[in-house]
Structure 1
Amino acid sequence: MSTADDLPVVSTLDEVARLVERHRGLYVRWSRGPATDLDRVSSTDELTGVPMPGLSANPLDVESWWEDRSRELWVARRLYDYAHLPHEKGPGVRPWVLTGRETGRGPDNEPLVADVEPLCWIAGAVIDAAKAEVARQEREWGTLRRGSR
C-alpha cells in the first residue's frame, strides 16, 4: 500500500462497513494524513507534551457483543465520536483508515499504533452519512467531545 496521501477514497458508509467486515485490525485516524504522520511515527499527549509510542487512532473492529446488528451503524458510531476533530484541529484534518500494531494506550484510552500501513481516506460524505445515521437513532447521546469548564 502507498504511504503517501494519494490513497483511494471510500465514499459511502456501506463501503467502510464492508471494509470492516472483510478485515480485522483496522483503525481510523483523524489527521492531516499519512504523509505528515509517518514522518514522525508517534503522537504527543496534548496536555503534557510527552511523546507516545505510536499514532493515536480508534479501532473500527466490531465487538462480539454487537452480534449481528448493523455494521453501518457500528461504523457510524465510531466515526461520529470524533467528527468534531477537523473543526478543533484545523484545516486539512480528515479521517483515514490504517492497519498496524498496537503498542499501548493513550491518555484517553485510545490505541497507539506503530508499523502503520495506510489504506484509504474516508470522504466527507461518509461523515455526513454517519451523523445522519446517529441522528436517526431513538436514543440521544453525544460525541466524546469535552466541553470547556
Structure 2
Amino acid sequence: MSASDGLPVVHTLADLVALVERHQGLYVRWSRGPGPDLDETSSTDELTGVAMPGLSANPLDLEEWWQNRSVELWVARRLHDYAHLPHDKGPGVRPWVLKGRETGRGPDNEPLVVDVEPQCWIGSGVIEEARAVVARQEAEWGTLRRSGR
C-alpha cells in the first residue's frame, strides 16, 4: 500500500487508535478505495442488487456501553470482524478510514454514509496486529468464528 493516491497510510494499530481517540465520526470501509467509491457514493446490496443511498461502512467510535475498556481492543475488534472481506471480495479490496454522515442502514444494519471525506488507508500490518489482539482475548471472550467464512 502506498500513499500514491494522496491518502496517508496508517501502519500500526497504535496509530489508528490515536486517530480514533482524536476524532469522532470515523468509519472503516473495505473496498477498492475512495476513487471508485466516490464516483457513485452508493453501495449495492449483494443479495438483491439494490443500490443503497450511501457507502456501507462500520463506525470506529466507541459505544457508551464499552465504558472504560481498552480503545485498542475496541478498534482491533472492529477490524477483526470484517478482515475476511479482501478474501471474499477479491483483489484490491482493503480497509480505509473515512468521515461522513449517516443516511440510513444497510441490510446487515451497517451505516450507509454520504458526504464522505477519505482520511487514510489502513496498512495490512494493522490488520495482523488487530487479529493478534483479538486472539489473545479468546480465553476470556470465547471464539469469534464466523460460519461460512
TM-score by length of 1: 0.92
Q: CA deviation at 1:146?
A: 4.5
Contact kept? 1:5, 1:33, Cα under 8 Å: no
Deviation at 1:6, TM superposition (A): 2.5
Q: Which residue of 1 aligns with 2:94?
A: 94
**Secondary structure in structure 1 of the residue aligned to 2:109:** coil
Distance across 1 between alignment mates of 2:70 and 2:26: 18
Q: Which residue of 2 aligns with 1:115?
A: 115
Size of the alignment, in residue pairs?
144
Q: Deviations over 1:69-89 (max 9, x none)?
A: 111100000000000000000
For residues 121 and 112 of structure 1, the distance between their equivalents in structure 2, rounded to whole angstroms, comes to: 19
Amino acid at match of 1:44: T
Would you say 1:141 and 2:143 are equivalent positions? yes
Which residue type is aligned with residue 52 of structure 2?
M
Unaligned runs of 5+ in 2: none
Map 1:13-24 → 2, pairs under 5 A: 13-24=13-24
* 1:39-58 pair list within 5 angstroms: 39-58=39-58
Deviations 1:34-81 (A, max 9, x none): 001001110001111110000000000011111221111000000000
**Amino acid paired to 1:147:** G
- 1:142 positional shift: 1.7
Letter in 1 for 2:148: G
CA contact (8 A) 1:5 1:34 kept: no
After superposition, the C-alpha distances for 1:66-117 in whole angstroms (9 at most, x for unaligned) are 1221111000000000000000000000000000010000000000000100
Following superposition, the deviation at residue 5 of structure 1 comes to 3.4
Alpha carbons of structure 1 residues 124 and 41: separation in structure 2 relative to 1, 3 Å: same
**More moved, 66-75 vs 121-130:** 66-75
Structure number with the higher helix fraction is 2
Across the aligned residues of Structure 1 and Structure 2, the Cα RMSD in angstroms comes to 1.4
User: Which range moves more in the overlay, 105-114 or 132-141?
Assistant: 132-141
Segments of structure 1 that go 5 or more residues without pairing to the other structure are none
Percent identity over paired residues: 73
TM-score, length-scaled by structure 2: 0.92
Alpha-carbon distance between aligned partners in 1 of 2:78 and 2:127, rounded to the nearest angstrom? 10
